[in-house]
Each structure stands twice: as C-alpha cells, then as structure tokens.
Structure 1
Amino acid sequence: MTYYGKCIAAVIEQLDKFDPEKDSPEQFLAAAPTALQDLSAQKRSFILEVLSGCLEYRKLLTVVVDAFYVRDGRFYLWADYNLFQVICYLATFQLEELGFQLFCNIIKSQPVSKMCKFLRFFFNPLNLCSWIKDEWSLVYETAHVKENWIDPLMRWQPEVQELVNQLEGESATTLPPSKTKIKVTIPKEFNLTVPKPRAIPMPELIPAMAKTNQVPQSTYQEPKERQLLQMVKRYNRRKAEERLLRANMKELRCAMPRPLKELPAQVRPRFQDPETQPRFPSAPRIRRTPQLTLYRPENTPVKLNTATILREGALYQRRVEQELQRIDKLIDGCGDFSEFLKWQKKMQAKDQEEQRAAGECRRLQGKLSHEEAILARQNLIQENKQKASQKKEEMAELMLQCARRRLQEDRSMKELVEQVIEAQKNVRVAQMKLLKSRRQIVQEVIEESRELLQRTAEEAREEQRQRCELIYQLRALETQPVRKGKLVDLTQIPGYGLEGEMSVVELRERLALLKDTQRRQEEEKRDQIIESKRAKSQELQNTVEQISLCRAAMGRTAALRWEERKAQASAAGPPRQDERVLELQRRVEERAAERRRLTAQPPGSAPRAARPHPRAQREAKHWDEELRSREHRLRARLQSAALPAARGLGAA
C-alpha cells in the first residue's frame, strides 16, 4: 500500500509545481526526470507515464473534477484537486492496463472517504451518459469519446460499485481511535524591562514667512489698447447715429412744412418736451447744433497674410492685362462694346419684367385652381353620399354570408372531433408494436458495441506503444550536446557572394562619411531657403504697393458707376401690366363670383346632396380672406417699387 501511495504523492507533487500560464507541458516533462533521480527505474517510469497523461488530457480531467467540487465535494479542500485528477486519469485511461486488483490497491492507499465519494460520483451511469459525455464531445469527436472512454467505464461500473460498498463497510466497522487527554497550557507572564521615561523634545522654530509684494495697480486697470478700441467704437457709433438722423430729416422734410419749434405746445410730440424726454444711461444723447465738428480716427493698417496678398495681386494683374488687351484691340480697329452693353441692359430689364409677369401669372393660376378645387369638393361630397349608401347595402349582404359560413364551420368541427375520438382508440395497439421493435434494436446495438470496444482496446494499446517509442527517441535527441556561442570578427568580410559586401568596420566608416556629406548638404539648403525668403518678402512688398494703387483706382470707378446707375433709375418709368395677368385676374373674379353665388343660395332652392359642408364653407372663407390679403400685399409691393421712380421724377 505504501508503495503506491508514494508514487501517487510524487505525481501530485509534480502537478502542484506545474503552472499552465507560464510552463509548457513538453519543457515541464523534460525537466521532471531530474527531480526523480533518487527513485528506482520502475517507479520513475510509472510516475512519468501518469504525469504525461494528466498533462495531455488535462481538459477532460478538469471538467470532471470541477463538477465534483461543485456538486458532491463542496466540503473538501482545494489542495486535493490534483489527487482527484490522478484518480480520474487512472480510472479512465489506465484501468485496462493496470488491472482491477492493482487499481484497488491504489485506491486503498489513499483516504477512504474521499475515494468513495469521488468514485461514486464519477462512475454514476447518469453522469457518464449525460453531461460528461457531452462536455468531452466538445473537445474530441463524439464517436471516439463513446467507444474509447464512456463504454469501458460503463463496463467497469458494477465492479467499482462493489469496491466502494466494501470500503464503506470497512470504514464503518473500524473503531474510532481513543481520545487521550491533552495537557492544558498554563500561561506565564513575560519578564519585560520597564521603559525609561521619554524626554521632553525641544520646540521647533517657526519659520518666518517671506514678505509678499503688493499687487500692481495695472491688474485692476484695462490695457491702453482696449481703451483706444472703446473710444473708436463710441466715435463710430455716434457718427452712424448722426448720419441716420440726417437721412431721416431729409426724407421727412416734405411731411414737415415748418419746424417743431413753431408748432403749438398741444401738437408737439411728447419726446420733444425736455421734462418728459426719455433718458437711457447707456445710449449717447443727440443734440442739435448748427455745426458739428467730426474727428476722424487714424487709418490703422490692416495686416494681410501672404496668400491674401498674392491672390489680390494676381487678381489686379489679370485685370490690368485684360484692360491692356482691350486698349490694343481698340487701337487695332475693333468696335466699342458700349452699344452692346446698353442693349444688354435693356434686354435684362425686359427679362425682369417678364419674370415678374410670369410670377404674377403663377400666383393667379394657383388662386384659380383653388377656386376650382372648392367647386370640385362640393361635387365630391354628393358623390360620396351615394357611395356610402351603396356600401351599406353591400355590408348587409356580407354579414349574411358570414353567418352562413359560421354554421358550416361548426358542422365541420363536430365531424372532426368524432374522427379524433376514434383515432385515440387505436393508439395503444401501435404503442405495443413500437416497444417490441425498439427492444430488438437495443439488443443488436449492445452486441455491436461489444465488438467495437474490443477493437478500440487493441488500437489504444498499439498507439500507446508507438507513443512510448517516440518519447524515447525524442529524449535521446535532447541528450546530445549542442555547441553554443560564436566568435565574431568585425574586420572580416562575411563572404556570402553579394555585390558590395564589406565588413562591419568599413560599414561604420562609410556611414560616418555619409553623415558628413548630409550635414554639408543641409547647410547649403538652409542658405538657399534664407535667400528665397528674402526675395519673397521683397516681392510681397512690391505687390502690396501695387494693390494699394489698384484699390484707389477701383474705388474711383465704382463711384462713377454708382452715379450712372442712380441716373438710370431716376429716368425709368412705372412698370406695365401684361395681358395674361389681366386675363387671369378676370377669370379668378368670375370663379369667385360663381362660388359666392353658390354659397349664398338659400337651403330650399338647391337639392340636399349639393349643399356644401360647413367645414368646406369655413375653408372657402379662409382661402378667400387669404387671397384678399395677398392681393393687398402685392399692391403695396408694387406701390413701394414705383415710389422711388416717382420721387426721382419729382426731384428732376
């Protein structure tokens, strides 16, 4: 017993040292024989064989042992985890080779209560044929699991059950060991030395704080740049308000024949009274003075970036080139485009008038379609009433057909129930025949499984023998000496036959020369960049001067164009109306009159089907008001467009 107990303890000790996250199974098995040199050759071979099997089938063993700890082994220590793995491996893979008697000796060498609990759990037929088989099938093929592992365990299950019952009976008959009286420990006081009284420490000096500087007065004051910006902002605001006041006074001069001072006190506005004048703390007060002194701020230059300067310079350069080309063409004898431009402006004005007329036509067409839609809605209401009466008659006929169909379905359901009752009487006879056929199939399957188990056992033995031979060959190869390390000469050429092959020392020298050449090239390139920057800055300065000259010229030409446009606008006459617009207005008025006539008829004069719905009347009234408001807005817009032309004629 002690012989097998020592072997199993050695296997458990090696498994405790194995860490699956850090160690690989091959390296661990290669290092294991060094720790087992003190044992005999027979013990060492048995331990290594069991250890390699536990590492190889670790996933299968982990499934069984984890489930055992969850269900039946909740009160066992986790230190016995590897013990249960070894017993599970021996029972699954080595029970045929060891023999049942040797397996019994190994089981008896371990704690009886633990072995009985684990074997009863592992050899339970319900566990083997259900979840253990399913979990192992996830790792290996189902047919291989059933033939090689599950079926042999089921064959050994009765004998293992007898062994468990025998061990439980022996443990029950053995008497518990006699309890000896334990001596009570008598406590003894410690012989400790009395500590000396602590001396009073010297007080620490309080460090003097450094004197802080006062906060500068500039912290509470705004910077000068912001004050200047605020002054410029206030000046610009005051200047804009004065300009607006002047423009309003010029426009309202025709409506004010005499100044406000000459009006009586009852007619003056309330805000002209100094006592009732509103006062705003933030808004500046506007005073009337005979002459206003204006202070213009200094023209601060605007800083432009390089892209803006180049873009604007290229634009002005293109314009100058175009103007020079135009002058060259005029010198060569080409005509002026002034007449063409006049004709073009005339045609553009004509196109704008046509677009306005087309817009008015579209609006009137929408209004006309709305009127026609209201008339069509009134006719549709009458048609819907007739259709509703027809639908009611059709629904009544459908209800009669549904009632007849329900009676037929009830009759068919009764017949179906009678047929089902007759079919249930013949079910028992069919069940007896099915049971007989299943029993025959089970007997045939049992005979076939026995033959397959014998074949798989022979194949497993042959596979185990080949595996042992392969392990012996690998170990013999690993024991051969290997030379480590190599001498390196940096001045020697490798001699691989490549083009431009050189030694490490020569390569370092060439790299140093290459770095020097690169440094010289960088310095030359840096000098070139500095020269190009200087030339570019000079070019930008010339471009800025040219842009300032071009801006002044463009400003003068824009002022002249504005004066010409103003003169042309004053000479333009009032717009004329199109014939299509007049025709559409006439048709809209006719449709509106017809709709009003229909809505104004008394209830008795028209038939009941043609009477409009109150909701339709409300919608028609709403759209009528909407159209009227649109007409008023259009007229006001036309008057406002014609007002500047009339003012220009009056001024002329």
Structure 2
Amino acid sequence: MNSYLLQSIDDEHKNFILDVVSGCIEHKKLLDVVIDLFYEHHGKGLSRGDHSLYVVVCYLITFVLEDLGLTCFGVIVKSLGLKKVHTFLNFFFTNLITYIQEKWNTMYDAAYVKKHLIIPLLRWRPEVDLVMDQLAAKVSHRHHVKKAPMKTTEPQEFALTKPKPRPLPMPEPIPQQEKHKPVSLIYSYRVGKQNLQYFESTWPVKLNSAAILRQGAIFDRQVEEELQRVECLVQGAQEPSSFLQWQKEMREKDKLEELAKIERRRLEGRISYEEAAMARTRIMECNQKAAKLKKEETAEIMRRYAEKRLKEEKEMRDLVQQVAEGHKNSKFAKEKIQALKRSIVKEVSEQSQELLRQALEEAQAELSRRFEIIREIHALESVPHIRHKYFDDTETAGHELLGEMSLAELRERLGLLKEAQQMEQQEKWEHIQEEKHNKEQLLLQQLDTINLHRKALAQAAASRSGQSKLASLQTVTQDETVLALQKKLEEKQQERQRLKQIRNNKATTSEQTHTVESRTHSKKSSEEESWKDLERSLERHIQKDAAYVVSQRETLKT
C-alpha cells in the first residue's frame, strides 16, 4: 500500500519523503530523547500511536528548518493535528536550553550541541512563535463556537383528532406445495385387501396353560349348545331356515353388484392409463423433434465458435513460444543455483545424521546396561523364601473339650452331611418333574381337541367361501358393460404396442447416425484438448518466470 502511494505522487515529493524517513532513522537516538521527555511531562493526555508524528515534527524543526523555510514548515504543521503540534512545539522551545540540552550533552560534545543545534533553533524562535500563535488561535477558535440562540416555546392548541387506524399487517405468503398424484382406488383396494389377508391369516400363537384351558372350555360349551339345538329339533321345534336363506341370497346379490362395480372401475382406470400413456408418447415425440432442431442450431454455433477459438489459440501459441525462448537463459541459471544449494544441504544433512547416529548408539548402550542391572535386581527379588512347617490333620488340638475332633474327622462328617442334603433335594426335584409332566400331558390333549375343532371350522368356511367366489365370478364375467370395457382395453393396449414398436425403430436409426457423428466430434474435441493443455503449460511456465523476475527486482530495490 505504501509503495503504491509513493508511486502515485511526483518525484519531488517522493524524494522529500524518503529524505525525511532516512533522516529520522539516522538521528533516531537524538530524537527519541526529546520524545521520551515529552511523554514524561504530558504522558496522561497523549496516545502512543502518535509517536512517529512527533518524531517527524522534531526532525523537521531540528535539522530541516533551514532548508525547508518557515512557509513550507507552517503548511506541513497545519496539515497535522493542530492541538498535538502546538503542545509539542510549546514543550520543545520551553525546555530547549534546560532538559533537552542536558540530554543532548550526554550523547554529543557540548560545544557541538551548542553550535550546531541550540543556536540555530534559538535564532528561529521568534518566527516559530508566530506559527505557534496561529495554531493557538485556531485551537481556541475551534473550542469557542457560538451557539445558536434558543427558540422560545410557543403554546399551541390541542389537536384532539382521532388517530389513524393501524394498517392491517400484510398477509404472509402461502408456500406453494407440490401437488401429489391422488392414489387410485384400485391401488388402495389392493393394499387394503393385502392388509386384511395379513391380519386374517392364522399365525401359530404360543398359548399358556390358562389360555389353553379357557379355549377348551369354550369349545366344550359350543359342543353342548349344538347338542341341545339338535335335541330341540328332534323334539319338534322350528328353525328359522327360510328367513336366513332369503337374507343370505340378498347379501350375495348386493355383494355381486359391488364386485361388478369394482371391476368396471378397474377396467375404466386401465383404459385411462393406456390413453395417458399414448398421450405421453405423442408429447415425447414432439419434444424430441424440437430438441433435435435446437441441437442442430447449437452445433452450428459451436462449430463457428471453435473455428474462431482455434485461430486465436494459434496466434497465442506463437506469442507464447516467443516469450518462452526469451526466458530459457534465466531458467537455466536458476536451476544451476538450485542444484548448488541442494548439494550443500545434502552435505550438511549427512554430517548431522552421522552425529545423531553416534549419539543414538551411545544412548542405546547406556539404556541396555541399565536394563540389565534392573533385570538382575528383579531376579534376586523373585527368589522364594522356603519355610518348612509340618502339620498332622489327624491329631486333635488337645483342649479336652466334649465335641473336640481332628480336622480329618471334621471333613469326613461334613462330606456325609452334604451327601444327605443332595439326596433329599434330588427326591424333591423328581417329584416336581413328575407333576409337571402330568400337567403337560393334560394340556397337550386339550390342544389336540382345539386344533381338531379349528380345522373342521376352517374347512367348512373355505368350502362356503369358494362356492360364493365361483358364483360371483361367473355373474361378474357375464355382465355386458364389463365385457365391453375389456374389449376396449384390449384395443388400447394393441394401439399402444404399435406406437411403441414405431418409436423403437426410430430410436435404432437415430442411434446409428449418432454414433457416426460422435466419432467425428470426439476426434475434433481430442485435438482441441491437446492444444489447450499445451497452452496451459506454457502459461504456467511464463507466470513462474514472471514471478521470479518481479521478486529479483524487489530485492534489488530494497
């Protein structure tokens, strides 16, 4: 950023700025003494960020005021902060012959300081005082700004008008939801039927003993009720068989009508599906024709653009080759320097590796010696201490008690007691297992009777449902509307197959033509890619050389 600002100004100002910066660096110790004294006296109200500003002002007063002149000095000082510069100039000329001169005398010869620094500054003191007075006037004028006269309050009548009603809030935009295709009745009917079959299926259920006994009691009660009904019929009681037969026929009739209606809906849905498929194929053909025309137009445009691009690339390659030839010599010198540096680095790394290897061998030898000592200590510590103690378990303790016995006798008696307890537990376990086996046999008999009843009921229900389904299918297939819809569905399917065959024939011919075109296009694209790769490699080479040249120029400037 600073280099950019220096380049944007003219040469005269640039030279002046560079001279000031170099002078500040050259007389840094002398200027820092003055600035440190200034911060000691006025450090509370000053910022450390303005240190460089005070250094520049001190350098201009001390060394450049003779050459610069009072006018240019005043312009430079007024462009900076007025209050800051006024405070510094006041401190500088007030303490010039006291604190500042004493500090300078410690650094340089007193005669040199008085002749070349103090006397010229005292000679310029009256003219600098005029500049300080101007700065003080501007600072005081800035602080004493005239305030505008305050307006008197004028009473006004109350405006008791009705407030405007609040505007209604804007309604939030309703998000657009995607429209979902409605589920067809045929699909929902099939899913419901599958779920019904799943839940109606007789999966084997593992029953406990209470459930088995309860189910057996239910079947026994049903058998008793059936026997009582048969006895009543034998004795002459009447059975409402005619009414039940009429009710069954009416239900069958309603069921057949419902099945015919469902079949008609299914066929109508299939017909509408076939018509929609044919419409989609027609729309697809129209879109394919439009896309083919668009592809031809874009191919023509791309061909023209490719020709233009190849011409530009050829011109660019010629230019790149000319530039690359100019940079070959600099690249060779750079490679030679890099090879020399690599050889030096290799020698240094080999020496350092040798030293590291020797240090590692010494450390390993010391470590192995310590490990050997530790192993010997562990071996000495692990040797067991042999203690001999003889004990006879057949002798008593000799306390002369009533129940006193030896350890061997105690073990024998405990073993006999344990065997007696095990025998008693074994007898109890066998008794429990026998009762459990009897109970399981009873439950198995109950399960056999339950399964027999269920199989009989399932066979009867299956025979009845098969007869009803056969009758319903015969009646549904004999319906005239269903036959007409089936015929119409077959015609639509044949027409759709014919359109599909025509489309497949067209697709095979288009694929053959497309393969020929793709081969020619692939050849052109491969040539273009090879030229582009060459261009990219040359551009990278030029950028690297350009970066190296710029870095060399910057190092020379610094």
Relative to the length of structure 1, the TM-score reads 0.30
More relative contact order, 1 or 2 (CA 8 Å, 6+ apart):
2
Relative to the length of structure 2, the TM-score reads 0.33
Q: Which structure's residues are more often helix, by fraction?
A: 2
